[in-house]
């Protein structure tokens, strides 16, 4: 398994998320952190996007998914994002954190962080 990491910090999206009745009708901010495990050697040697994880395209796909989602739990949203990341053939593992700022009265943010790996074939 590769040990190179691509990271995306503080990706902001807005969606319906939460279990309270008012949350089912109110768009809220979520902040996403991504760490993608991949082998960057080929891309580093060739300097070609075809040999890399195109994180701009992946980020657009994630934002579109999140903004169309309607999860109750940040755990479910994190799982869906990890699944999207692992669809890319060069991504071997994805650590996804989803934060919901302001969800707790005396905390800046609350969230979940998960690590998912590509299934061995």
Give the predicted TM-score (pTM) of the model. Answer: 0.94
Radius of gyration of the chain (CA): 15
| Nearest Cα residue to 37 out of 78, 10, 2 | 2
pLDDT at 17: 97
Quote the number of domains for the chain: 1
Half-sphere exposure of 117 (CA within 13 A, CB side): 6
Q: What CATH number does the domain containing 28 carry?
A: 3.30.1130.10
- Mind listing the pLDDT tens digit for each residue in 45-86? 999 999 999 999 999 999 999 999 999 999 999 999 999 999
Q: Which domain holds residue 9?
A: 4-117
């Amino acid at each position: 398994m590769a040990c190179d990491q691509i990271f995306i910090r503080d990706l902001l999206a807005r969606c319906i998320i939460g279990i309270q009745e008012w949350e089912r009708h109110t768009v809220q901010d979520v902040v996403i952190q991504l760490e993608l495990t991949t082998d960057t050697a080929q891309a580093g040697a060739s300097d070609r996007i075809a040999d890399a994880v195109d994180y701009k395209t992946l980020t657009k796909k994630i934002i579109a998914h999140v903004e169309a989602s309607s999860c109750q739990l940040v755990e479910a949203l994190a799982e869906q994002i990890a699944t999207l990341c692992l669809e890319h053939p060069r991504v071997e593992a994805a650590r996804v954190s989803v934060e919901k700022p302001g969800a707790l009265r005396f905390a800046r943010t609350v969230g979940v962080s998960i690590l998912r790996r590509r299934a061995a074939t």
